[in-house]
């Protein structure tokens, strides 16, 4: 059999030493991790978006904040917007009932509400960004891992050729070409990781912007001093504004 016909990926793996095989295993693990993060976070993004749309539709069409609170109590918190709303309502009711009983509750009701909303937004941002650092690291380092494998393979190929005393083109091109496989694998791992990272980052940025805008509206509603029990609560129209005139005490 012609020796040139035996060249290829299988021959490269068979001839690779411990370091070459370890680099290949590392690239395979990096690829598996990146695809797992892309698929799982993509599914989570889709589910989160649907649930957020459902909650926002209910929120803007609710007759009062009391109805929103009942909805959250019944179905629980399933998206960032309901999570923010639940914490904000609880903070307002807690401060109205107990006042500034602890240092973290110091200040006016609006101060405590502002801190609670900010803390919840930070928690949601951290949850959205979970795993993205690993994805970015894989996208940035995989090409260099593959390049290191190529350099290592070329080095051993040239050493073997030098020891054999045969420096013809057909003896050099085959082993060197095989070593370039590692660079290709590194790029194959990095490209999906970078694309997935950019896609998830943009989705998170859009969701965070919507959540910030919603937090401002929610703070406005709650800081107006309206009761969560439905007393003197004016209906919320779909544009996020209160309808009617302010309720006056008799």
pLDDT tens figures, 141-169: 999 999 998 888 787 777 777 776 665 65
pLDDT of residue 246: 37
From 22, 76, 23, select the one nearest 54 (Cα to Cα). Answer: 76
Higher per-residue confidence, 64 vs 198: 198
Q: What are the angstrom distances between the C-alpha of 178 and each of 3, 166, 173?
A: 14, 18, 8
4-13, 55-64, 103-112 — which is least confidently predicted? Answer: 4-13
Residue at 123 is within a domain: yes
Name the residue with tokens 């609710």: 62
Residue at 32 is within a domain: no
Q: In which domain, by residue range, is 224 found? A: 61-242
Exposed / middle / buried, residue 10 (Cβ in 10 Å: 0-12, 13-18, 19+): exposed
Domain count for the chain: 1
Asked if 240 and 57 touch (Cβ cutoff 8 Å), the reply is: no
Residue at 51 is within a domain: no
Residue at 38 is within a domain: no
Average pLDDT over the chain, rounded to whole?
A: 78
Residue at 170 is within a domain: yes
Q: Find how far residue 207's CA is from the centre of its chain.
A: 11
- Please tell me the pTM assigned to this model: 0.74
> What is the per-residue pLDDT across 38-72, written as a single tens digit (0 to 9) for each?
999 999 999 999 999 999 998 888 888 888 888 88
């Amino acid at each position: 059999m012609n020796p040139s016909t035996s060249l290829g990926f299988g021959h490269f793996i068979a001839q690779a030493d411990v370091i070459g095989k370890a680099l290949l295993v590392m690239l395979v693990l990096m690829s598996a991790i990146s695809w797992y993060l892309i698929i799982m976070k993509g599914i989570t993004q889709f589910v989160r978006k649907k649930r957020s749309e459902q909650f926002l539709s209910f929120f803007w069409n609710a007759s009062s904040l009391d109805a929103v609170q009942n909805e959250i109590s019944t179905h629980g918190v399933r998206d960032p917007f309901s999570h923010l709303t639940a914490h904000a309502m609880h903070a307002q009711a807690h401060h109205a009932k107990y006042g500034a009983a602890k240092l973290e509750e110091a200040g006016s009701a609006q101060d405590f509400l502002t801190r609670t909303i900010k803390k919840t937004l930070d928690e949601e941002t951290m949850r959205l960004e979970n795993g993205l650092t690993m994805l970015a690291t894989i996208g940035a380092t995989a090409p260099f891992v593959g390049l290191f494998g190529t350099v290592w393979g070329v080095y051993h190929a040239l050493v073997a050729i030098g020891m054999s005393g045969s420096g013809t083109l057909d003896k050099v091109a085959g082993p060197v070409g095989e070593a370039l496989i590692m660079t290709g694998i590194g790029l194959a791992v990095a490209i999906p990781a970078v694309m997935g990272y950019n896609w998830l980052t943009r989705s998170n940025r859009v969701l965070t912007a919507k959540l910030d805008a919603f937090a401002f509206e929610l703070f406005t509603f709650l800081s107006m001093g309206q009761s969560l029990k439905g007393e003197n609560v004016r209906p919320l129209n779909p544009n996020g504004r209160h309808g009617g005139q302010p309720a006056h005490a008799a």
